[in-house]
A and B are shown apart, each in its own frame.
Chain A
């Protein structure tokens, strides 16, 4: 692969006008984060205090694929809990008691608020304090909200990590804190790179177990691995830690820029930096090159989902040669994605929030080659002839840092490759008019009925 395109003039997309939309949102709520957080934090249990809907969401998002008893559950509010609040607290204590007596392996318990618990003003913070005292020395009880009226999808992880921060012990040690729940294998790669750069004390949030919780204090600097961690960053700053602003570590360029920002902070020698990163950089470029061919000049449209959209657009346009049409994001946190926005050449419409009907109109009018969207929209758009990539895969799959850069690009090529292969035999597909469920009834609405 050739060198990276030159950085855009001026501030890139940093100061372009943003289309703000307020209409129907087609996104998950913050509870969804539990699906990956409970795998990451091996001795934590996530107890949602909510409704049958919340339980159903978790199960649908998880795809009912966990065979043993998972480390999350929903305390479903019933009619009688809604009548009087004193009651609900007692009920909660009883459920927690029952749970913890059965699961002695649980060292951290998160009480996770939902829309119903918030609307009835069930005070989970007080409940967590009360229960923390009761189970002192055995299980720490924390709380955060994953409700759909407060949080969007990945914000659940943000709220969870922010809730851990006050529980972190104080330290004055000079250290780097890497923030964001990454798959263990990816986290290990990052720690190795940072270690090779000579950074002595590197800790992570969240830690894999409660015992390994990191300290925090005035000599702590932190780097975020995910763009959606604004509240966690704020909480760390309140504990005296300082944020190292950087593009996010997606792709070769992003990873290098992320590491370089840290290296500058720690005064890492330039030669050492080159030595440590040269080989993995070359590997990453080589791995991306394979996808570059497929992705080059293809037009991509992002529906708002995980807040990864801006850094990904930066990666796909700069490293894979794609053209971004619209980059939708649920929130545009310029304080965090500013560096990525600056690297993103002007051109795409940056949009924040959503009015799904209108956005579908825009997507269909734009006829992008690839559309990144949620699971609810993917098949309907495919049926309209658009090629889609499920956004949720981007948070479930290891995609950060050098060794995953090729995999990340590959995630976007696969749908394009597949559509191209199917198109080689038009008699099989016969255009976008194929429809599933043909037997469902005599008549089918025309495919035009989508929007």
Chain B
């Protein structure tokens, strides 16, 4: 038993729903109680889908237990087939149904439906959402992909995009155009947008682009083994990674790298003088393994940030992310407990967090800016505008997204110079953030439930020192306050004077 407040991933059947909902012509019969239908709203509200997910929940109740849940399941399968006439049916159990052991796979097979029925094993008490998506896609591919002749021209499949994926919608467009630039056609994009008929055609492609290893690695490996289809290992997010990706594609296909970079602006933006202030900003990176790996590289090589900490919530990628941590000289944090992440951020006091919606909230509480790089998704992660992460346009989007929460270059200096000025006074906040000042560190959190024990409980700020602290621009004040308190505590100083403040400043000067 483990106490969870917020979770990064849902249960595995939500992963299965993401695959089914992304696809066309499949229907998912999920043996589950009524409350589990909440998952529909993830798709209809967060992603603003205009269709219900193709999922029938059996919604068994207590009175059905021990008597008739199996019949209920079979009836639901028959009714779903009759009503939706899918090309293929996938069946599985949610956490509760797993306990009653009705064997959805066996029951559905016994119905002799005239379409493929794909049973899923979704161990709810061991695994999570990403596993569920990966496993579901793998089972669908394994059941439906048929040996077929390779296409005459060179083609690729794009594997991994699902419903409710972080920017999957736009990444597909971007990666397709990268491939087209090289004269490569896309055979099938899957699971998103594909039908069982198209899944059958997967082996016709010459290779696979594994866009999101979280949701498609098992399928890509199986296709490689079974149909001799190599898959790309680099996820093209970031300029460097996109170049490596193109090189990999060139190597697989024997075609020369060709790409239209005319709209790529990120390298110049990063080199322009206004970006000088980005140099050495300490960033903390957290999210799913793939996005963390790509973000860390962009942060270091393309933005010239200092990665002061990183980690991921999906254990499947623990090994990769630990290795990545070694490369960056930091210890990777592998956890799905957001309190651990909060602690790490509090300790490291980064100047920018690259994280998920969860870290965005942590950042709000701690007064640290945050840009979102990874699922779990929020309605804000489905913007109306085109906003990919992959490819050249993705690199542009990422530059803008990461810089936005920071105080802009020149503005940083102006704030320091004119900090007492009425317009630049420190409650004004960054000029492009609509005027609401970030909350002060140590001020009451948004919901005053439990105060986090902070240094200020043990050391007292003398009035003068507190006034001086207020003169420090808000975007570094939190760090100054914490550093000073840490400095004071270490030395057994219980009252902070102006001198303590500046001694601490000197001590921490980098």
Contacts and interface: CB of A to CB of B under 8 A. Distances in A.
A74 B47 contact: no
B126 A380 contact: no
A307 interface: no
Interface string B88-112: 0000001110011000000000000
Interface residues of A, number: 79
A79 B125 contact: yes
Contacts of A25: 34, 37, 57, 59
Looking at A47, A68, A443, the one whose CB has the most chain B CB atoms below 10 A away is: A68
A25 B2 CA distance: 30
A101 interface: no
**How many residues of B sit at the interface, in one of the four size bands?**
35 or more
B38 A445 contact: no
Contact of B1 (A57, A77, A449): A77
Interface in A5-58: 23-32, 47, 49, 51-53, 55-57
A53 B11 contact: yes
B290 interface: no
Interface string B24-62: 100000000111111111101101111110001111111
Given A25-B34, A115-B35, A71 B449 contact: yes
Contact of B50 (A99, A374, A436): A436
A252 B13 CA distance: 46
Interface in A346-377: 357, 374-377
Nearest to B376: A64
B193 interface: yes
A169 interface: no
A380 B51 contact: yes
B5 A115 contact: no
A91 B44 CA distance: 37
Interface string B339-377: 100000000000000000110010011000000000000
B201 to A, nearest CB: 14
B76 interface: yes
A80 to B, nearest CB: 9
A119 B365 CA distance: 39
Interface in A424-451: 435-437, 439-443, 445, 447, 449-450
B447 to A, nearest CB: 4
Contacts of B365: 67-68
Interface in B304-359: 339, 357-358
Contacts of B100: 119
A139 interface: no
A41 B33 CA distance: 28
B173 interface: yes
Interface in B161-202: 169-170, 172-173, 189, 192-194
Nearest to A72: B5
Interface in A112-165: 115-116, 118-120, 147-150, 152
B146 interface: no
Contacts of A76: 1-4
Given A25-B59, A115-B35, A375-B45, A69 B386 contact: no
Contact of A73 (B5, B83, B95): B5
B414 interface: no
B125 A379 contact: no
Nearest to A88: B1
B1 A380 contact: no
A73 B448 CA distance: 17
A440 B37 contact: no
A445 B51 contact: yes
Nearest to A56: B10
A209 interface: no
Contact of B445 (A68, A105, A378, A447): A68
A437 B449 contact: no
Given A71-B449, A437-B169, A51 B42 contact: no
A319 B4 CA distance: 45
A440 B48 contact: no
Nearest to A384: B50
Interface in A55-107: 55-57, 59-61, 64, 66-79, 81-82, 88, 91-92, 94-95, 98-99, 103, 105
B449 A68 contact: yes
A92 B1 contact: yes
Contacts of B192: 440-441
Contact of A61 (B38, B44, B56, B94): B38
B445 A67 contact: yes
Contacts of A53: 10-11, 13-14, 36, 94-96, 124
Looking at B24, B33, B61, B172, the one whose CB has the most chain A CB atoms below 10 A away is: B33
Given A103-B450, A376-B44, A439 B95 contact: no
Interface in A374-413: 374-380, 382-383
25 contacts: A25-B59, A26-B37, A47-B3, A51-B96, A52-B7, A52-B9, A53-B96, A55-B4, A56-B11, A57-B38, A67-B361, A68-B449, A69-B449, A71-B449, A77-B1, A78-B125, A81-B1, A105-B450, A148-B35, A149-B33, A377-B52, A437-B48, A437-B49, A439-B172, A445-B24
Q: List the 6 closest pairs (A to B, CB-CB), nearest first.
A: A29-B35, A441-B193, A148-B35, A376-B40, A383-B50, A148-B33
Interface of A: 23-32, 47, 49, 51-53, 55-57, 59-61, 64, 66-79, 81-82, 88, 91-92, 94-95, 98-99, 103, 105, 115-116, 118-120, 147-150, 152, 357, 374-380, 382-383, 435-437, 439-443, 445, 447, 449-450
Given A68-B450, A357-B79, A440-B172, 18 more contacts: A23-B59, A25-B34, A27-B34, A29-B33, A60-B38, A60-B41, A67-B447, A74-B5, A75-B2, A76-B3, A81-B125, A95-B3, A149-B33, A378-B44, A436-B50, A443-B193, A445-B51, A447-B51
